[in-house]
A = this chain, B = another copy of it.
């Protein structure tokens, strides 16, 4: 732990090639919205044709929700030194309800700005921050409640639909769009996500669009039970490892693999500067836990924290552009003793900091007592609350206990307070919960917190697999996502053991994309199963390249395939290494179909009819084998 600047000393604008190379056989396409400056990026995976005995069948491109931002667009000019283009700048300005400030208004922000020793670390093109004009509220929820459909709302509507309406009108997608009925446990999934639906969901608090007015680089996205389930990733240096440069690279890496939002949990000396670099280059909403930085400012002594210092930290970060704050306002003094008999006590960093503060001062949590003051700050920049679950269980044994649920009830009370200020809210959830206790968490959250979006960490369904906790938690995440959780906070294989490296981050994100997608399919989100259908068709037809490219991680799929069958010829082979060329079930199935086809029995009905005719023959000879099913 030293104050000597780390990383970016040479202010490189380089990202490694592996975080920016385009996905194979994919192209970035943009859907134009109702105004020139509103176009929504998505990725389309081109497919190769299917070759049959009777000719060639084209397979249409598959559009995919894309979190990677400009980094995978070969046309985009990327320069970390400049930051991303400020897409939303015009939208925010034209609303006419903000003022441009001369510079940071927080004491800490000004001090960092004026510290010459930090020049080598500092992002150079810092924009003047904005704040709501006096008496104004700039939250998306406030606009929504006024009946205003903002460009942000239209953007997320287009983004969530992923061209579904157009595909429905195109016959080449008809079979691909078939999907099973979902079980949504009471969600209200519409057939089409319209801007008006988005507005309505934001207005009633069932969804949030985290979008600080000082983060104009952001591509808006939405978190709510009636939208696609999202994945949050975390990065952050610690006193022991990591540098600013690594953190920015990790942010882009996280966007590449599908992270929808990102929390910067850095705890080192230069978090202010690290955060600036991340925000200026981040296409996704960025969240933080401001109490971490506040604690740094008092040299790690929770008892020295004060409301004034915390307030300054909120303003510092809000003016940088942080989109959501984890605030542990539900850790009330009276709940702390409820954790004393737990197996793992309080495992949330923020929760334990606040618990220690409360006990040290014999006072109620200042985040709770100053909650309305915090709301005033949130609505001046449109920072969303992520109400922290400081008393979440750290092991199965502590799951669903009184401490956890008492806090959840308080989060519900705070939700009402925030909503009275038109401030957007999501609710953090556990943690470690055995499978049979997960649904109770979701159900209670929906009731106690009035359907505010739930945002859970896993949960891990067992404690016995350190080194594999992306998996233990991915199981819980898929289930709770299915039950109604709006966003899943990823867990990497290094959880409980160490800081994740890039491969761990990739493994964690892909695991959570699986969980989120499984939940979308299970809920019956419109169009969710199309990618599964397209990939399965490619798989069955031995279109190896399409199978790789349609997957969540084309690079790894290809690499695994190449380990046993490296030759290019094998990519078009009608067999794979599992069974070898003469023993392939898919090949045999094709033979079965061909056999049927030769007899003019290609379709199910015709084939069954053919069988029935055969049955007559056989019945005649006394062998009854083709009974109606």
Contact = CB atoms under 8 A, between A and B. Distances in A.
A297 interface: no
A627 interface: yes
Given A556-B467, A561-B498, A564-B499, A589 B345 contact: yes
A518 B604 contact: no
A446 interface: no
Interface in A426-483: 432, 434-437, 461-468, 470-472, 474-475, 478-479, 482
A559 B351 CA distance: 30
A136 interface: no
B461 A352 contact: no
A547 to B, nearest CB: 6
A515 interface: yes
B592 A335 contact: no
Contact of A604 (B292, B337, B498, B583): B337
A85 interface: no
Given A334-B629, A532-B397, A592 B553 contact: no
A628 B333 CA distance: 11
A349 B396 CA distance: 40
A626 B333 contact: yes
A183 interface: yes
A307 to B, nearest CB: 15
A540 interface: yes
B614 A362 contact: yes
A211 interface: no
Contact of A551 (B295, B395, B466): B466
Interface string A525-539: 000010111011101
Contacts of A540: 343-345, 394-395
Interface string A575-599: 0111111111110111111011000
Given A267-B580, A474-B471, A337 B565 contact: no
Interface string A593-626: 1011000011110011011001000100001011
Interface string A482-516: 10000000000110111101000000001101110
Given A565-B498, A580-B238, A585-B348, A521 B434 contact: yes
A435 B553 CA distance: 21
A340 B471 contact: no
A347 B514 contact: no
Interface in A371-422: 394-397, 399-400, 402, 406
B355 A589 contact: yes
A463 B341 contact: no
A623 B8 CA distance: 49
A540 to B, nearest CB: 4
B295 A396 contact: no
Contact of A531 (B464, B471, B627): B464
A359 B537 CA distance: 24
A520 to B, nearest CB: 9
A353 interface: yes
Which among A295, A406, A437 has the highest number of chain B CB atoms within 10 Å? Answer: A437
A188 to B, nearest CB: 17
A436 B498 contact: no
Interface in A540-562: 540, 547-548, 550-553, 556-557, 559-561
A517 B364 CA distance: 41
A514 B479 CA distance: 15
A494 B557 CA distance: 8
B563 A468 contact: no
A346 B595 CA distance: 14
A518 B629 contact: no
B362 A618 contact: yes
Contact of A518 (B434, B533, B561): B434
A514 B461 CA distance: 8
Contacts of A40: none
B240 A564 contact: yes
A241 interface: yes
A508 to B, nearest CB: 11
A607 B355 CA distance: 14
A336 interface: yes
Contacts of A349: 579, 583-585, 588
A338 interface: yes
A497 B576 contact: yes
Given A436-B182, A436-B482, A588-B302, A465 B343 contact: no
Given A241-B577, A347-B586, A498-B577, 16 more contacts: A179-B397, A337-B596, A337-B604, A337-B607, A345-B593, A346-B589, A348-B585, A359-B592, A360-B595, A435-B518, A464-B531, A464-B535, A468-B552, A470-B471, A494-B564, A498-B564
